[in-house]
Chains A and B, each alone.
Chain A
Amino acid sequence: MDKVIFKIKRGTPEEWQYVEYEVPVEKGTTILDGLYYIRDNIDHTLSFRASCRMEVCGSCAMMVNNFPRTTCSTQIENVKPDGTKNGIKVIKLEPLSGYPWIRDLVVDFDDFFKKHESVKPYIIRKETPEGQLLQSPEQLAKFKQLTLCIKCGACVAACPISNSDPLYLGPAALAAAYRFNADSRDEGKNKRLAVVSDPEGCWRCHFSAECSEACPKDVDPASAIQKLKVQAAVFEFKRIFTGRKDGEK
């Protein structure tokens, strides 16, 4: 059986250090498997967040060799090592970048979800509909990819703006805003645009597109944000010419 060394950033923001652990590896062993191995066999105090182990819950994202990944879907054999020690591959694990660090591999997601909530990520209707709201496959295709987001937060950790501007809404929230704006059943586009068309909203994105590279579900938030900018530009013109803050006719 092969071995790998996990070099894990452990501790709290006040006092921390990198601690190395040897982990046995078989074909298909994921980073998360390795973390469970450490917690079950070497150090019970290791803190990390995980749940479904199948890239659905989005809990286990962390920095793997300086890049955010969901560890349940990252197989150790596919990870380029951060270095080697005595001929053994070293993988560096750190808490997600751009989030308040709590301890070990756990970060605080409160702000992430507050921002997500602020863009009204739900269907808004002017009146309660009678019966089902039907949608054609073509209408669904316009946003279907964006519904795959699992809120793992990897996009925010990869984004250079989110990492330097805590007020920026971030790729996850903005992609969610576009997802509902593109939904044919929704009637709350202007309400969302009033939130995201802001210096700390979609206009803060400068398209480094690392969010799309980091997304484990290929959601492509970077493209969604650019489409949101086009919507926001039209919205702003309407605001100027109608004089209404909500941009309605």
Chain B
Amino acid sequence: MGIKEAFKNWLSIKGRHIHGGIAYLFHRLTGLIILLYLYVHFGALSQLLNGGASYKNFLTTVESPPFVALDILLFFVIFYHGANGIRLVFNEFGIGTKKNMLFFWVMMALGLIGWILLTYIVATRFIGGG
């Protein structure tokens, strides 16, 4: 199997179940987004090397509504990855594997509640002028 075919297979959905192959694919993709964000985050922190004033200016930019909206999307990615990841940790100890679908949707519901709460807090703090 060549690299091209392996990568195509890596991205393809082999199953048809949301709690199976689709959840698995999204877990991989969200993991990559979080990894990418980690480097962006380090880049942002490195602004401190240019002095406090420069960092403050930078913060003013990233606290503007378009960036906050991106943050909210990032929270969605993190909550999905976290909620699904917790399920997988339990699953990999053999817990909940027989009720996998139910377990998946319970964790998604918890993740969604967490995301909505955090979105509310962030939106009122940065966009709502709180």
Binding site for B on A (CB under 8 A): 66-67, 97-98, 157-160, 163-166, 206-210, 212-214, 220, 222-223, 226-227, 229-230
Would B92 and A226 count as touching, CB distance under 8 A? yes
The 7 A-B residue pairs whose C-beta atoms are closest, nearest first, are: A210-B15, A208-B24, A223-B97, A164-B9, A226-B94, A164-B10, A163-B9
Tell whether, in the assembled complex, residue B93 and residue A230 are in contact, meaning their CB atoms are under 8 Å apart: yes
- Interface bin, chain B: 20 to 34
Selected contact of A222 from candidates B9, B14, B16, B97, CB within 8 Å: B97
19 pairs of residues in contact across A and B, judged by CB atoms under 8 Å: A159-B14, A160-B9, A160-B14, A163-B12, A163-B14, A165-B6, A206-B88, A207-B88, A208-B14, A208-B15, A208-B20, A209-B20, A210-B14, A210-B15, A222-B97, A226-B93, A226-B97, A229-B92, A229-B93
Q: How many contacts A-B (CB < 8 Å)?
A: 80
Does chain A have a CB within 8 A of B1? yes
CB <8 Å contact, A210 and B9: no
**8 A Cβ contacts from B73-130 to A:** 88, 91-94, 97-98, 100
Give Cα A164 to B25, complex, Å.
12
> Which secondary structure dominates where chain A touches chain B?
helix
Cβ–Cβ < 8 Å partners of A66 in chain B? 16
Q: Looking at the assembled complex, report how far the CB atom of A90 sits from the nearest CB atom of chain B, in whole angstroms.
A: 17
Contact of B15 among A213, A220, A223, A227 (CB under 8 A): A213
Chain A residues lying within 8 Å of B91, measured Cβ to Cβ, are: 207, 209, 226
Distance, CA A160 to CA B21, complexed state (A): 7
- Specify which chain B residues have a CB less than 8 angstroms from the CB of A226 in the assembled complex: 91-94, 97
A213 and B94 contact, CB distance less than 8 A: no
Rounded to whole Å, the gap between the CB of B12 and the closest CB of chain A is 7
Besides A207-B91, A208-B14, 17 other A-B contacts (C-beta < 8 A): A66-B16, A158-B15, A159-B14, A160-B12, A163-B14, A164-B1, A166-B1, A206-B24, A209-B17, A210-B17, A210-B24, A213-B20, A222-B100, A223-B98, A226-B94, A229-B92, A229-B93
A206 surroundings in chain B (CB, below 8 A):
24, 27, 88
Say yes or no: B19 contacts A209, CB within 8 Å. yes
| Closest residue on chain B to residue A210 by CB atoms | B15
B6 close to A67 (CB less than 8 A): no
Any A CB within 8 A of the CB of B23: yes
In the complex, are the beta carbons of A214 and B98 less than 8 A apart? no
- Chain A residues within 8 Å of B97, by CB: 207, 209, 220, 222-223, 226
Q: How far is the CB of A157 from chain B (nearest CB, A)?
A: 8
Q: How far is the CB of A196 from chain B (nearest CB, A)?
A: 14
Contacts of B16 in A (CB 8 A): 66-67, 213
Contacts A158-B21, A163-B12, A226-B93 given: A209-B6 contact, CB under 8 Å? Answer: no
- Do B94 and A158 touch (CB < 8 A)? no
List residues 1-46 of chain B with CB under 8 A from any CB of chain A: 1, 6-7, 9-10, 12-17, 19-21, 23-25, 27
